Amino acid sequence: MFSNNRYSFYVTVRRCCLKSQFLGVQICSNKSSRRASGIPGLYPTDEKDGNLQDIINKGSLHEFLVNLHQEFGPVASFWFGRRPVVSLGSVNQLRQHINPNHTTDSFETMLKSLLGYPPGMGGGPNESVVRKKLYEGAINISLKNNFPVILKVTEELVGKSFPEAQHIPLCAHLLGLALKTVTQLGLGERFKDDAEINSFRKNHDAIWSEIGKGYMDGSLEKSSSRKTHYEKALSEMESMLLSVVKERRDQRKQTAFVDALLQSSLTERQVMEDCMVFTLAGCVITANLCIWALHFLSTSKEVQEKLHQELQDVLGSDPVSLDKIPQLK
């Protein structure tokens, strides 16, 4: 049923694109304890690296966290370097604890640190709240103004003809979808151009691969050629984003994420850094959310049937619209 129902696939992908803009990972810290506030979990295996080697040994952060929660339950702690981290392994726990004070997101802080950017405005908790609200407003504006973009890009993917016996490279197609939607939502219509997308993707892949591996295992610092390649990609990406920021400021448009940031007191450099985090992480998060959603849907005929029925109940024969999305479970 699922393989033949393009409409279900279409709506599922679009819902994933939307939800990925709001999905967060909750990380809490407490520097006063060898275990975060006595929460069940791992002690650091290394004074400097914490449980980094344990993560590497498991093959990925995902596998490490799966094993962590299997051993210690839905709330478990570990050490990321010298920083204690509390991982929430269930949706209910996440709902209860996700950023309750609307302060700066820990994932954003970590990513900015890896990129060599300052964590925020530097103005304390009050400015963190202001900045958080600014981001939420910017995302809402970009979704509202660019929902037709998500529709169009999703329709193009769903409308592709794939031979029955041919292997479909789902990861590649969904990363392509994520790149097209996130860049246009974040940076504007300049990224309707495939040449701009391809240039962005080349540097995006080079940066993200080293953030995901080179920094984690220390191998980047040991390879001068890899480090040069990474620094070149980062420099080219920053130059491109700065040019977008200047263009959008001159155009005075109000449709993309970057436009909302330009209405704030942020400098052009700060806007560029925030756009880097939004697009760099947003593309990967959106693609992975779509990939895993479709993978798990493909393994359960019962869930496919429930999804199909829900689409019929909520949408019927009407076109998909932004106001109908919240009605879907």
- Residues 317-326 pLDDT 10s: 888 888 888 8
pLDDT of residue 109: 74
pLDDT bin (cut points 50, 70, 90) of residue 37 is low
Residue 32 has pLDDT above 50, yes or no: no
Supply the mean pLDDT for the chain: 80
Measured distance CA(77)–CA(58) in Å, rounded: 16
pLDDT band at 157 (very low <50, low <70, confident <90, very high): confident
- What pLDDT shows up at residue 30? 42
State the pLDDT at residue 96.
63
Residue 57 CA to residue 74 CA, distance in Å, equals 22
The residue with greater pLDDT, 183 or 28, is: 183
pLDDT at 98: 56
In the chain, the percentage of residues whose pLDDT exceeds 70 is: 78
Considering only the top CATH level, what class is 2-24+102-327?
mainly alpha
**CATH 1.10.630.10: which residues of the chain?**
2-24+102-327
Q: DSSP characters for 2-38? A: GGG-HHHHHHHHHHHHHHTTT-----B--TT-SSGGG
| pLDDT above 50 (res 248) | yes
- pLDDT reported for residue 97: 57
Query: H helices within 51-193, ranges in order?
Result: 52-58, 61-72, 91-97, 106-115, 125-158, 170-187
pLDDT-derived band at 15, boundaries 50, 70, 90: low
Region 53-67: mean pLDDT is 88
